[in-house]
Structure formats: C-alpha cells, structure tokens
C-alpha cells in the first residue's frame, strides 16, 4: 500500500470514528415530553410516599416511646396554658429539653441528679439478674471483689423459682428476708427476680445493678441452656423427673417454624403461671405490678 493510500485510509477511519463519537440520535418532540412527564411523576410519587412514611414514623415514635417527662418525674399536670398546646413537641426529646430550659429545670438532666446510687442509705447491692446475659461471670467477679474489699455476697439457691409477679405480701416477706441477711459490712445479693420497690415496706432502696443482652440471642441461649446435661441433672434434683427425649433433641429453628409455644411470643399473653418463661427481659426492670403483665 502506498503512502498516500495509507493516509487516505486512516483519514476515512477517523471520519467513521468521529461519526459514531459525535452522532446525535433525534427524538420526536412528543417522546421527550413523555420522558420529562414520567420523571416529574416519579419524583412527586416518591416525595408523597416519603412524606407519608415520615409522618407515620413520628406517630409511632410518640406511641411506642413513653414521654421523657415520665422519666424525669414530670407529668401532664405540670404542663398548662400555652405549653399545653405543644403536646406533640413535648413528647420528643428536643421538646422536653426546650420545656425544661424555658422553665429553668435543666438541672434535672444533670447526671449527678439522675444517679440515685449516691443517695443510698444502706450498703446493699442487689443484682436481680436477667437469665442468660452473662450473670455467672459477674457473680464470680463479685465474689473475688468481696474477698478483696471485705463485703459478703449471697445468692439464691438454684431450686428457688424465678421471682415473677409476686403478691404484695410476698414482696414484703422477701424484702425483709433480704435485709435480714445483711450483717454489719457491705452486702451484695443475687437472685433471678423482677425489680421490687423496697420503700413501701419501710426498707431503704438497695443499689440495683443488672445486665441486658440482644433479645433474640438471649432467647436462643436460654433454649439450648435448658437442654444442657448439667442443667438437666440439677433440674432432676429439684423436680425428680427428666423431660422426654423430644425435648432434648428439639431444634430452635424448627421450633420457630412450627410455631411451638416455647419459641413463640404472643403479645398480651400472661405468664404468671410459667416462671420458666424468660422471653421478656423487660420484666426484670418493670416489676411485679399488673402493668408489667
């Protein structure tokens, strides 16, 4: 191929590349308008649904979360006049802050006032342990620290059922029993039981501590813990009987898929008669009141 022919070939090749590179595909005017209309419609659709979702989330926030005023000891009786018209705002953290700021009550948010430990009148530490949250490790640490710092540790026996929904009279008896255990030195008590208010029984409130865990992981841990050999033997010593074979070979996943009562949480069901049901760790912080059922 001659030099001129080669140059001509390259120029034609470049022209073809430029034609593809800078080509313009004409669209009918109606098509462009249709695409623009679809884009605007989709944008408006997303805006409307996002706004609706945001409103529903705000409604759920108010319904599912108790007012911050309750935690601070402020009830609706404290709100009147102009502030009463701002109920929706008051039920949010920002609204609570603004209300406390406007009324000169920001001191309520100071950590030193929220920490009740500093106001204790009796050196009694109460670990009302939630099941399957790592409490055995904490108990072992408490014993070690007790030897080092000269305080006694007492725990309820394995055979004692979990303290769920006690009557007022039973709570009174337990409160007296716990305080009778303490001698002169500091004292730490450990038991699976719901939170209990000692003040109505004319006892000082102990210093409560507890642990929590991811609720799903905790339920799974409890499911297999009940089927461990050592726990089965200890339960036999208490009840005098073993579970049937199907209990020990049960699989958690299958238990959930078959809607087995052991692996199902039905909202509103009362567990008064089943002290071995530990799906709700919130009970250990709520108490024995019917409100916690």
Q: Which of 192, 247, 278, 288 is catalytic?
A: 192
- 154 pairs with which residues across the strands? 189
253 Cβ contact list (under 8 Å, min separation 6): none
Rounded to whole angstroms, the Cα distance separating 163 from 284 reads: 9
Residues 159-208: tens digit of each pLDDT: 888 888 889 999 999 999 998 888 777 899 999 999 998 888 998 888 99
Q: Is the pLDDT of residue 139 over 60?
A: yes
Nearest to 193 by CA among 229, 157, 218: 157
Arithmetic mean of pLDDT, 4-24: 59
Rounded to whole angstroms, the Cα distance separating 250 from 248 reads: 6
In a 3-state reduction of DSSP, which class is residue 202?
Answer: coil
| Higher-scoring residue by pLDDT: 187, 12 | 187
| 177-209 residues labelled b (16+ CB within 10 A) or e (exposed) | ebbeebeeebbbbbbbbbbbebeeeebebbbbe
pTM for the full model?
0.59
How high does pLDDT run on average in the chain?
A: 75
Q: Give phi and psi for 107, each to the nearest 5.
A: -60, -25
Arithmetic mean of pLDDT, 46-50: 64
Q: How is 112-156 classified by DSSP, letter by letter?
A: HHH-GGGG-SS-EEEE-PPTTSSHHHHHHHHHHHHHHHT-EEEE-
pLDDT, position 267: 64
Nearest to 163 by CA among 23, 276, 67, 18: 276
Highest mean pLDDT, choosing among 120-124, 154-158, 238-242: 154-158
User: What structural domains does the chain harbor?
Assistant: 63-114 (no CATH), 116-293 (3.40.50.300)
pLDDT, position 52: 65
Burial category of 268 from C-beta neighbours within 10 Å (exposed 0-12, middle 13-18, buried 19 and up): exposed
- Residue 278 designated active-site: no
Arithmetic mean of pLDDT, 215-227: 89
pLDDT, position 138: 93
Hey, how many other C-beta atoms are within 10 angstroms of the C-beta on 140?
A: 10
């Amino acid at each position: 191929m001659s030099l001129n022919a080669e140059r001509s070939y390259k120029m034609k090749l470049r022209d073809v590349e430029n034609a593809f590179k800078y080509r313009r595909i004409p669209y009918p005017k109606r098509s462009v308008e249709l695409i623009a209309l679809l884009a605007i419609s989709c944008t408006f659709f997303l805006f409307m649904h996002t706004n609706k979702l945001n409103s529903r989330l705000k409604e759920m926030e108010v319904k599912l979360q108790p007012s911050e005023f309750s935690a601070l000891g402020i009830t609706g009786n404290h709100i009147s006049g102009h502030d009463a018209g701002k109920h929706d705002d008051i039920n949010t953290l920002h609204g609570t802050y603004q209300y406390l700021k406007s009324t000169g009550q920001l001191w309520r948010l100071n950590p030193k006032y929220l920490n009740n430990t500093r106001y204790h009148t009796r050196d009694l530490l109460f670990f009302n342990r939630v099941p399957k949250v790592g409490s055995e490790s904490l108990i072992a640490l408490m014993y070690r620290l007790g030897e080092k710092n000269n305080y006694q540790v007492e725990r309820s026996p394995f055979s004692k059922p979990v303290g769920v929904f006690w009557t007022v009279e039973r709570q009174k008896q337990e409160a007296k029993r716990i305080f009778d255990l303490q001698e002169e030195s500091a004292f730490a008590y450990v038991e699976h039981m719901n939170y209990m208010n000692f003040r109505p029984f004319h006892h000082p409130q102990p210093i409560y501590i507890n642990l929590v865990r991811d609720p799903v992981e905790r339920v799974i841990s409890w499911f297999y813990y009940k089927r461990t050999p050592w726990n089965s033997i200890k339960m036999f010593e208490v009840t005098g009987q073993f579970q049937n074979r199907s209990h020990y070979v049960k699989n958690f996943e299958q238990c959930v898929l078959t809607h087995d009562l052991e692996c199902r949480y039905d909202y509103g069901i009362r567990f008064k008669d089943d002290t071995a049901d530990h799906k709700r760790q919130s009970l250990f912080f709520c108490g024995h009141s019917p409100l916690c059922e």
